[in-house]
Amino acid sequence: MHPELIRVTNTIACVRRPSYVTCSYIVQTARGVVLVDAGMKSDGSDVFWGLDQLGLDHGSVTTILITHWHNDHAAGAAAIVEATGARVICTEAEAPYLRRETAATGLAGWIADAVPEVGPFVLVKGLLGNAPMRAAPPDACVGDGDVVEGFEVITTPGHTEGHAAYLYEPEGVLFAGDALAVIDGELRFMAKPVTPDLVAARASMQKLMRRAFTRVCAGHRAPALIDASHRQAFAARLDDDDWPELG
């Protein structure tokens, strides 16, 4: 079954899987294609299908920006690197996961290997295995404020320790990964059970709300236009509200 392709702008498209409505993004830049996350299939087929739909050569992919190592975001990285020679970029804290140095051994590792790579099992498989299923060692580790191919790295710990968002100024787009949620066009907290560090995650969202952007492309559901008043309203919620159980 194919994922779904959502055209976000003339240069940005979203490849979306029904499982968890997970989104990875294909961005056409003057210097080639940049991916934000790498799809949910360890054979890279989500992204390759998206490139085909857009009429883009697989070889045009130069860079894979990883928001975080979870299998629903990073599964395809290894295969895409093999096929395209693209470089993988993530933060220092996320790197051991992408190198699979963290991979579960013993029973948990065995169970993770046995879990099928289909639908909602993809995330579970990665979480049990404590790493993506195939190693995609980063070619460079980035930190807060670094700029790669026009994408500014904004470190946003909370959902994972090394989570990064990427602000793409040419299009005014914030690629938020799982640092926050967008539901029905509204900015929302991520669900509490998937947020191990609530304090860090809240600070990360506050940091993001201080930035200027007009569109949010998050790790799940659908991209949304977000204006300044909407950002300010959500920033006020972040200052005052208790963390809602389900985001």
In the complex, the residues that contact Zn ion under the rule CB under 5 A are 70, 178
Nearer to Zn ion, 70 or 100 (CB): 70
Cα 21 to Cα 228: distance, rounded to the nearest angstrom: 26
Nearer to Zn ion, 215 or 220 (CB): 220
65: closest CA among 5, 12, 18?
A: 12
Nearer to Zn ion, 198 or 233 (CB): 198
Instruction: Name 60's Cβ contacts closer than 8 Å, sequence gap at least 6.
Output: 32, 33, 51, 84
Q: Rounded to the nearest whole angstrom, what is the least distance from the CB of residue 193 to Zn ion in the complex?
A: 12
Nearer to Zn ion, 70 or 134 (CB): 70
DSSP string, 5-61: EEE-SSSEEEEEETGGGEEEEEEEETTEEEEES--S-TT-HHHHHHHHHHT--GGGE
Give me the residue whose beta carbon is nearest to Zn ion.
Answer: 70
Nearer to Zn ion, 84 or 130 (CB): 130
Q: Rounded to the nearest whole angstrom, what is the least distance from the CB of residue 121 to Zn ion in the complex?
A: 15
Using only C-alpha atoms, the chain has a radius of gyration, in whole angstroms, of 17
Q: Rounded to the nearest whole angstrom, what is the least distance from the CB of residue 29 to Zn ion in the complex?
A: 25
- For 208, phi then psi, to 5°, come to -65, -40
Alpha helices for the chain (secondary structure H): 45-54, 71-74, 77-84, 95-98, 106-114, 121-129, 198-209, 228-240
Q: Rounded to the nearest whole angstrom, what is the least distance from the CB of residue 111 to Zn ion in the complex?
A: 20
Nearer to Zn ion, 152 or 178 (CB): 178
Q: Rounded to the nearest whole angstrom, what is the least distance from the CB of residue 181 to Zn ion in the complex?
A: 11
Q: Rounded to the nearest whole angstrom, what is the least distance from the CB of residue 68 to Zn ion in the complex?
A: 6
